[in-house]
Amino acid sequence: MNPNVLSATVRRVRQGVLALSARRARVALPARYAVELPAKVVARWNRLSPYDQHHLLAVAEELRRSGAPHTVVLAGVLHDVGKSGGVSLVSRTLVVLLKRFAPATVDPIRRSVQPRPGMKGIHLLLNHAEVGARTLEAEGVRQEVVWLVRHHESTSSHPYLRALQEADERN
């Protein structure tokens, strides 16, 4: 097996175990981030699962410790805010399996305007970057942050985007 595929598989299994065992309490968005965000964005962040909240804070803190610009750190704490519409563990698992074993099905699901019955969570997961970016844009969040959120799953050599993606992968 390709070492990169094995590494990605191990990482996803680890994330799944963490999500299953995430009996963590919800956390409040730290004031250092909350004070500069619109109330609706903070409210949306507060609706994320405890697993997602902890993940976003871990990504942001890694970026902050590494000396990343504040814009990148803020994107780290917001990059998955588009998942706040309610994403189950089953949907998360199905998306990972689809991407791995039926990648040709992913784009048609992502591009569908209206998700098929029972596919709302999968559709949201596949579109969470765009959903989050639109939410942030509508609330007046800085365009640099919106751009990073929108493209955090895209292929790019942009150094700030790469820093966000690498921290996301590790956390």
What is d(CA 37, CA 46) in angstroms, rounded to the nearest whole number? 13
Structure tokens at 61: 């803190």
pLDDT band at 17 (very low <50, low <70, confident <90, very high): low
pLDDT digits (tens, 9 = 90+) for 39-72: 999 999 999 999 899 999 999 999 999 999 999 9
Residue 82's Cα: distance from chain center in Å? Answer: 7
Question: In the predicted model, what is the mean pLDDT of the chain?
Answer: 89
Q: Is the pLDDT of residue 129 over 70?
A: yes
The string of DSSP codes covering 18-51 is HHHT--PPP-PPPHHHHTTS-HHHHHHHHTS-HH
Residue 147: give the domain boundaries.
3-170
Q: At 84, which CATH number?
A: 1.10.3210
What's the structural domain count of the chain? 1
pLDDT digits (tens, 9 = 90+) for 103-125: 999 999 999 988 888 889 999 99
User: What amino acid is encoded at 91 in this protein?
Assistant: S
Of the candidates 86, 67, 82, 54, the residue with the CA atom closest to the CA atom of residue 159: 67
